[in-house]
Structures are given as structure tokens and as C-alpha cells.
Amino acid sequence: MLKAAIFDLDGTLTTSDAIHLQIWKQIFKSNGLAIDDAFFEENISGRQNDDIIAEYFPHLNAAERHQFGEDKEAIFFKLAAGQLKPLPGLFDLLDWIRVNQLKLALVTNAPRPTALFMLKALGLADAFDPIVIAGELPRAKPDPMAYRQALRRLEIKASQAVVFEDSPAGIQAALGADIPTVGLTTTHSAASLLKRGVSLAIDDFTDGRLLEHLGLFGQPQLEVPVCQERSSASVSPTLVPVW
């Protein structure tokens, strides 16, 4: 029986990868390097800042790496303010989750201040419990540690959860924790996600196959409550009828 839904943040709740791509391109350029979209998708998307910086800027010491990451996130805050919007169908799916009394968790490689900033911007400040920040653990995605931590805090088995992810690192982490995973094609093609092992690949949460797919986990089939898609700009965090 399905007892919980676990969401990634970047590329899953919202499409913010374009902003991160813009920032990382500028960072690499400033350091005499050039990256393209394909390099970003394969080597940076979904990974923790510390891991990226350590791999591509190994000459920096720990303090410099930390400041590097802080500066990068400060740029993200400025660029993302007012731009973040929920993926289509997200609020309807969250209503379905509420009606079915499922637990709801978030697992992200984003630093905690960034994650909380994004959730507030989306009108989801209080929607997820627990919020697992992979960077606060010994190993971040693609290691499965963060998803295993979520399972422990939810007090459920892997077979009782479903994960929503978009990046190769996140999918590897979720499947490494033995959790069935639905892939979002916001950053990678459906064929690529299916090849990596997701059970279903969807463009967004309006896909008509999604609720039927969730029903395969033993959850009763219920119609999604009729409501209009809400935008982050028009919904206050205190007014979202999710939790």
C-alpha cells in the first residue's frame, strides 16, 4: 500500500535548471572554461554544489569551496525571485495526496536556505515533512543515503513510497534506496529516464497516466479534486489548501 510520496525540488516541483545552467556557464567562463547544455545535463544537473566545485575546481580549499557555493546561491536568489512557478498539475496532485492521506516528503541536494526560499516562492513553505537536505548528510545524491533517511523519518518501507525525480543523480539515489521512481522530463528525455530505470516518465503532473500508475501501488483510485491550476505569484503560502 502506498503511504508516502517523496519529491525532489529542482526540475521536479519547478523548472529552475535553466537558471542554474545560466549561472554555471558564467562561473566556468569566468574561470577560463566553457560548458554546453549537454555537459550541464550529464555532469552538473541535480548534483550538490560542494561535489561539483570539488570536482571541477580542485585547487580551492574547503573554506573557498564553501564561499564559492554561497556566492553561487546568492546569484540564484536574485535571478529566481519572481520567476519560479510550479510544474503544471502539481497542486492537483498534492490535493490527491492529501485526500488519500499520504505522507509527503522532500529530498533535495539544494542547500537548506535555497530549498526553503524556493518552497516559499512556490507557496509550499509548510507542505513537506520531513525535508531532507542531502548536503547535511555524509553523502549527497547520487548516493541513496538521503532517500534512506527520508524512509526512516517517514517510518515506512521503500515499497510503500514513490519518488518523483528528474535528474540522473536523483534517480540513481532513489533507485539505490529501492524506491519506485517516476521521472519528470524537465531536464532529460523520456527515453533517457526510462533507460535509467524509472517506472514512468512524464512531462508534468497533468499526465493522464499518473494516477493510474500510482494505483498500481495499491492506492485507491480517486478523482483529483476539481480546482484551477494555481500560480506561485498569486498564491500565498498560508492559503495553499494542502496541509
Residues with catalytic function: 8, 10
One-letter amino acid for residue 6 of the chain: I
Distances (CA, A) of 186 to 113, 118, 204: 23, 17, 8
Q: How many CA atoms lie within 13 A of 200 on its CB side?
A: 20
